[in-house]
Amino acid sequence: MIKIRHLFILLWTISFFTQLSATCIQSADIQVGWRRDDLDWNVRNLDSSYISATGKSRIRFKDMESYTVSGKLRWVGSEYYIRLSAEYGLSFKGNAKERFKLYSSLFDSYDVTVFTNNGMRRDNEVYDFNGAVGYPFAFYCNRLAVIPMLGFSYHRQRILVKQPGYESSSYYTSCPSSYSDYSSFWSDNSQFFPKSYSDSSNPFDRSFSANPFRSSSSSTIASALGLRNYRRTQNYRFTWYGFYLGLDVAYALDSCWTLFGEFEGHFANRCHRKRKSWTGVYFIDRFHNKGWAWGLNAIVGTTYSLSNDWYTIITVDYKWRQSHTHHERDRLYWNSVGIKWGLGYMY
């Protein structure tokens, strides 16, 4: 039979040689830290149900750095182990780069390509919730603890991108040479380019020498493509959830120091992605989808026992996920790394 006090010390390094008669030991810790998230979202063959157009987009969210606060509760007994954890982060930097392309017969067999490079807002959010149960095994005179786990996790990234600034734009249609100045071009094509959108926030307004809506027979093209979208902030949301199999391991170096790891293999998870952006194309801006996901989580760290049942903890956290939809028309990759420090108490 596993000695409960010893097992608990292996995991949280609290007074290794002291014995307690309690049948259940509990602990709670809180940590603060730094975290960086990267996502790569590639969507192709996006079709409109109301207009002859197809689009594709690849957007990379790079170096989204956040300050985090997290907490963890644990219960350990002779034949069970339970841990619950939660984390919240608020970003302070990040960058989003997108290559967006639109194909349509409305462009006289040409296409429109736009490259964007925008900074993220400082109030992006990340959430993590995790719960698991397991059965503890002890080895080497209770210096080593190995606990197989079954758990469920939920993760979300909510990303806000600043008002678009267009790095470069390539339009493969051109303004008729009969226009001697831009003012006459805008005047004659006002049904395609509403006056309120003659600024850089609309990718199709960026180049005055381009007119992708030359078809005079389609007076509602601009509206159908979503150019009357008044949003000025791009909003992206990614949600990952599902079950996993895991393994918690801890090894006591001495009566104060312990090394530990938490490893999770995620399978048959689900991933929802949603965007509310400003490309000027409605069926792109309001795109949302879901698919299967899989990946892994790994946490390694160390604890040091303090006096009066207090302990300090340092951890490094890594997450990796990928999600593909049918025929891989929608591929999403996510990885995250974080470093945390905190204090805990056993009771």
Please write the tens of the pLDDT for every residue from 193-219. 333 333 444 444 444 334 444 444 333
> Would you give the DSSP letter of residue 52?
S
Q: Which of 9-23, 114-128, 196-210, 306-320 has the highest mean pLDDT?
A: 306-320
Whether residue 2 contacts residue 136, with contact meaning beta carbons closer than 8 Å, is answered with yes
| Distance, CA of 71 to CA of 342 (rounded, Å) | 9
Q: Which of 11-15, 164-168, 225-229, 267-271 has the highest mean pLDDT?
A: 267-271
Identify the residue with better confidence: 263 or 114.
263
Checking if the pLDDT of 165 tops 60, the result is no
| Distance, CA of 115 to CA of 199 (rounded, Å) | 16
DSSP 244-268: EEEEEEEEESSSSEEEEEEEEEEEE
49 pLDDT band (50/70/90 cuts)?
A: low
pTM confidence score: 0.77
> Would you give the DSSP letter of residue 50?
S
> Would you give the DSSP letter of residue 14?
-
Whether residue 26 contacts residue 74, with contact meaning beta carbons closer than 8 Å, is answered with yes
Q: State pLDDT tens for residues 62-80.
A: 999 999 999 999 998 888 8
Checking if the pLDDT of 183 tops 50, the result is no
| Distance, CA of 114 to CA of 154 (rounded, Å) | 34
What pLDDT was estimated at residue 209? 37
What pLDDT was estimated at residue 195? 37
> Would you give the DSSP letter of residue 284?
H
- Strands 81-104, 111-119: pairing is antiparallel
| Gyration radius of the chain over CA positions | 27
What pLDDT was estimated at residue 23? 55
Q: State pLDDT tens for residues 287-334.
A: 888 999 999 999 999 999 998 889 999 999 999 999 998 777 899 999
Checking if the pLDDT of 156 tops 60, the result is yes
Instruction: Specify the amino acid at residue 4.
Output: I
98 pLDDT band (50/70/90 cuts)?
A: confident
Domain spans in the chain, listed from the N-terminal domain onward: 26-136+166-172, 173-234
Identify the residue with better confidence: 156 or 78.
156
Taking CA atoms, 232 is separated from 10, 43, 208, 286, in Å, by 53, 22, 21, 14
